[in-house]
A and B are shown apart, each in its own frame.
Chain A
Amino acid sequence: MSQGFLPRIEASGLDAWMLRLFDQIDESNLAWLTALTRQCEQQLGSALVDLVPSYTTLLVVFDPLQMDPDQAYQQLHQLLENLQPDSAAIQGRLHELPTWYDESVGPDLKRVADKTGKTLEEVVALHTGTEYQVFALGFAPGFAFMGLVAPDLECPRLDTPRQRVPAGSVALTGRQTAAYPAVTPGGWNLIGRTSASLFDPQREEFSLLQVGDRVRFLAVDRQTFVSEGGDPAPAEVESL
């Protein structure tokens, strides 16, 4: 990343400023980013259009007809000067995602085991043994990038992405993990499937997971998975 003092406010078009707080991914970034996100919501009023928090940054999108970009810059500068991180007490909610770990719905479970030198049971134990944080949402509605996956479970992405990853698929790559909210293409290693509904336009909060939330995967058997609404149809073992 470019040199310079942090935090920084960077140009990002006529209607946005990029607030860069950190230069690398760390779980302790989140308390600052969630605090900043909330401050922007409270202070920018009706001129605020969108906020996109990610691992190290917050993109602030505003209406340049309502708020002059220079004025927005000044206000954001002020917010950064007085920023305090969120305390543990107001950190994100904890979600438990019931997940059926099985080769039929997690066709890369064995690949991950082979690449990491673990048994299938050890892979599941390692994946369920960590409480993850949501660093960013993107790629698709409700798709949450979570981490950090145990170093022992690090596994590269597939050489060729799948054309069609089933909804609910639980996946990992590198030190990140995620669950696919809807059918999309995808290149991560599929190791199971959750019955949780991750994105629903009918729900008040459309996305189940939000930046700053914490997530645990709970291993459940097929019966529990199905009774909680999970779709047990096997994933196609294509590698196109």
Chain B
Amino acid sequence: MISKGFKVLQAGPLALLQDAGRFGVRRQGVTQGGPADLHAWAWANWLVGNPWGTAALEITLGGLSLQAETQMTVAVAGADLAATLDDQPLPLWQTLRLEAGQKLHFKQPVQGLRAYLAVAGGWAAKPVLGSVATVVREGLGGFDGQGKRLETGDCLPIQSAKQPFEQRQVDASQRPDYSGLQRLQVLPGAQIAEFHGRSLFDAFNQEWTLDQRADRMGVRLLGPRLTCRLGAMVSEGISLGTVQVPPDGQPLVLLNDRQTIGGYPRLGNLTPLAASRLAQCLPGQKVRFQAQGRGAALREYQAFRFSVLG
């Protein structure tokens, strides 16, 4: 059953509906999409009892005001965007009961960049190419099916859920500190040996600063110039979290809305959880790369996925 959910009183710069992503169609040039911070998105859904893959609203930066049009169970996880519920501070990482008429307001980043608003039962939107993930550049997904970001005046329908309200809270140990220096785990890639020794040392021992050029496609990092024996390569598929280095020597970490193929040498890939943390960083924030083995990365990812089950 689809019912009224929220009315958008003020849209803000960027709020997008995101399920786990669009899969099986990358060979047609269609990007992955999905939540830039998979970790917070998954916990938001867990809080309201939704299964893995349910769409949640990804709110970037803030500036968004919503009014509930019915009674519902919701949760907000991820960035602290100074959110309020009827002008009172809204608690993050826990289940909340909303009554019709109540107002949610996300102001601006206090810590982190993206907050996820999940609704018990999920938001209601028709999948396009198997997914409701919103990709503005491709004109796919979202509430209208055509990749539109939320606009003032939009009415956002939800799947009405009949389950009883269950109060949940995410354990403090699972809530990341998005502020300050972030250590990002990198799985070394095939071209790593092609980087010059000094560059390889710098890559893993210097601090990197997030550039203004940071969005859902990718994040550019500023720091020492990395040089590589390889110039441009023949274009090939790009997986999530790829750290590629164009000729300007400044790494570009590719996120959910990246192009499907590309041709710059790659240092490696951020782990899925490291990519999630990068997606919460603001321009000017510092990060460091830390090499990690596949075994350790797999165990961490499995533990995360297990913890957000049911």
Listed in ascending order, the chain A residues whose CB lies under 8 Å from chain B are 1-2, 8, 10-16, 18, 20, 24-25, 37, 49-59, 61, 64-65, 68-69, 136-145, 182, 199, 201, 206-207, 210-211
Query: 30 pairs across A/B with beta carbons < 8 Å?
Result: A2-B190, A8-B190, A11-B188, A12-B269, A13-B269, A14-B294, A14-B297, A14-B301, A18-B190, A49-B24, A50-B27, A51-B27, A52-B238, A53-B237, A54-B236, A55-B236, A59-B239, A64-B301, A65-B301, A65-B302, A65-B305, A69-B298, A136-B235, A138-B259, A138-B261, A139-B29, A141-B138, A201-B128, A201-B145, A207-B29
| Contact B29 A13, beta carbon cutoff 8 Å | no
Residues of A within 8 A of B271 (CB): 13-14
Query: Given A51-B27, A206-B25, 12 more contacts at CB 8 Å?
Result: A12-B190, A13-B239, A13-B269, A16-B239, A18-B236, A25-B234, A56-B236, A64-B302, A136-B261, A138-B261, A140-B138, A206-B30
| Contact A57 B236, beta carbon cutoff 8 Å | yes
CB distance from A20 to the nearest CB of B (A): 8
| Contact B235 A55, beta carbon cutoff 8 Å | yes
Say yes or no for B268: interface residue by CB 8 A criterion. yes
| Contact B298 A54, beta carbon cutoff 8 Å | no
Say yes or no for B28: interface residue by CB 8 A criterion. yes
| Contact B189 A182, beta carbon cutoff 8 Å | no
| Contact B234 A10, beta carbon cutoff 8 Å | no
Which of A14, A18, A68, A206 has a CB less than 8 Å from the CB of B187?
Answer: A14
Say yes or no for B181: interface residue by CB 8 A criterion. no
Residues of A within 8 A of B189 (CB): 10-13
CB distance from B132 to the nearest CB of A (A): 12
| Contact B234 A137, beta carbon cutoff 8 Å | no
CB distance from A49 to the nearest CB of B (A): 5
**What total of A-B pairs shows CB separation below 8 Å?**
149
Say yes or no for B140: interface residue by CB 8 A criterion. yes
Say yes or no for B241: interface residue by CB 8 A criterion. yes
A137-B260, A138-B235, A138-B259 known; A15-B29 Cβ under 8 A? no
CB distance from B224 to the nearest CB of A (A): 23
Shortest beta-carbon contacts, A-B, top 8: A59-B237, A52-B237, A13-B269, A10-B190, A138-B261, A137-B29, A207-B28, A16-B239
Which of B190, B241, B260 has a CB less than 8 Å from the CB of A138?
Answer: B260
Which of A11, A54, A56, A136 has a CB less than 8 Å from the CB of B190?
Answer: A11
| Contact B28 A137, beta carbon cutoff 8 Å | yes
A14-B298, A137-B27 known; A1-B233 Cβ under 8 A? yes
CB distance from A62 to the nearest CB of B (A): 11
CB distance from B73 to the nearest CB of A (A): 27
Residues of B within 8 A of A138 (CB): 29, 235, 259-262
Residues of B within 8 A of A53 (CB): 27, 237
Say yes or no for B240: interface residue by CB 8 A criterion. yes
| Distance between Cα atoms of A90 and B47 in the complex (Å) | 50
| Distance between Cα atoms of A184 and B296 in the complex (Å) | 41
| Contact A13 B237, beta carbon cutoff 8 Å | no
| Contact B26 A61, beta carbon cutoff 8 Å | yes
Residues of A within 8 A of B270 (CB): 13
Residues of B within 8 A of A69 (CB): 294, 298
CB distance from A28 to the nearest CB of B (A): 15
CB distance from B20 to the nearest CB of A (A): 10
CB contacts under 8 Å to A, within B129-145, are 129, 137-140, 145
Residues of B within 8 A of A207 (CB): 28-29
| Distance between Cα atoms of A58 and B236 in the complex (Å) | 8
| Distance between Cα atoms of A53 and B26 in the complex (Å) | 9
B233 to A, closest residue via Cβ: A1
Which of A13, A16, A52, A68 has a CB less than 8 Å from the CB of B27?
Answer: A52
| Contact A68 B190, beta carbon cutoff 8 Å | no
A56-B236, A57-B236, A140-B138 known; A49-B268 Cβ under 8 A? no
Say yes or no for B272: interface residue by CB 8 A criterion. yes
| Contact B237 A18, beta carbon cutoff 8 Å | yes
CB contacts under 8 Å to A, within B215-260, are 230, 233-242, 259-260
| Contact B242 A2, beta carbon cutoff 8 Å | no
CB contacts under 8 Å to A, within B94-133, are 128-129
Give per-residue flags for B22-46: 1 if the beta carbon is below 8 A from chain A beta carbons, else 0: 0111111110100000000000000
CB distance from B42 to the nearest CB of A (A): 13
Residues of A within 8 A of B32 (CB): 50
| Distance between Cα atoms of A1 and B236 in the complex (Å) | 13
| Contact A13 B230, beta carbon cutoff 8 Å | no
Say yes or no for B209: interface residue by CB 8 A criterion. no
Residues of A within 8 A of B261 (CB): 52, 54, 136-139
Which of A13, A14, A52, A55 has a CB less than 8 Å from the CB of B260?
Answer: A52
| Distance between Cα atoms of A132 and B87 in the complex (Å) | 62
| Contact A59 B236, beta carbon cutoff 8 Å | yes
CB distance from A10 to the nearest CB of B (A): 3
